[in-house]
């Protein structure tokens, strides 16, 4: 099987390996590094990770599909994950999601035709004290309002 992941990925795994009790324990960091490199986790990449750490690809898929932070399908350049859990819901998250859907012309779980934006809802991001919150790629945005959301989206357009 031809390798998809880069030498940089394998170098990173080599450096991390001594920090973990077993090679299998590298699974989450490996998924994270692969996603950082490719943007999502295609089946052949999960297979490659399984082969590298010595587990069946189905086990890799099981773990990757458990965590919402792993993308099992391609996402846009800007990945908006709006928390809709209790604290955020009580502070207007649903309205924010609807606002984003209208503004971007997509529904939850979809990506714009130009592959620029993907809109997901997310479970608690641990920012309940500053709800409503969302992650935009790896960055947090908190105390959101529709006006703040507009400013964020305008900067990205």
Query: Where does this chain touch ligand FES (CB under 6 A) — which range of 9-17, 54-62, 64-72, 127-135?
Result: 127-135
The answer to whether 128 contacts ligand FES (rule: CB under 6 A) is yes
The answer to whether 82 contacts ligand FES (rule: CB under 6 A) is no
Query: Where does this chain touch ligand FES (CB under 6 A) — which range of 10-18, 35-43, 48-56, 83-91?
Result: 83-91
The answer to whether 134 contacts ligand FES (rule: CB under 6 A) is no
Distance CA 33, CA 143 (A): 30
Say how many Å lie between the first and final Cα of the chain, rounded.
39
Query: Which residue, 58 or 69, has its beta carbon nearer to ligand FES?
Result: 69
Binding positions for ligand FES, 14-73, rule CB under 6 A? none
The answer to whether 127 contacts ligand FES (rule: CB under 6 A) is yes
What number of residues does the chain have?
A: 157
Buried/exposed 60-79: b ≥16 CB within 10 Å, e otherwise: bbeebeeeeebbeeebbebb
Q: Are strands 139-141 and 134-136 parallel, antiparallel or unpaired?
A: antiparallel
Distance CA 32, CA 46 (A): 11
Smallest distance, ligand FES to C-beta of residue 108, A: 15
């Amino acid at each position: 099987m031809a390798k998809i992941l880069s030498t940089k990925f394998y170098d990173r795994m080599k450096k991390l390996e001594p920090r973990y009790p077993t090679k299998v324990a590298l699974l989450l960091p490996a998924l994270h590094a692969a996603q950082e490199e490719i943007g999502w986790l295609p089946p052949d990449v999960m297979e490659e990770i399984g082969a590298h750490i010595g587990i069946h690809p189905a086990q890799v898929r099981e773990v990757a599909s458990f965590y919402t932070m792993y993308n099992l399908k391609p996402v846009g350049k800007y990945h908006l994950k709006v928390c809709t859990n209790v604290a955020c819901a009580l502070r207007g998250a649903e309205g924010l999601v609807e606002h984003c859907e209208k503004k971007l012309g997509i529904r939850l779980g979809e990506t714009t035709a130009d592959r620029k934006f993907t809109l997901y809802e997310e479970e608690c991001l641990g920012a309940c004290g500053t709800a409503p919150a969302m992650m935009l790629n790896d960055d947090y945005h908190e105390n959101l309002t529709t006006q703040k959301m507009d400013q964020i989206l305008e900067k990205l357009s």
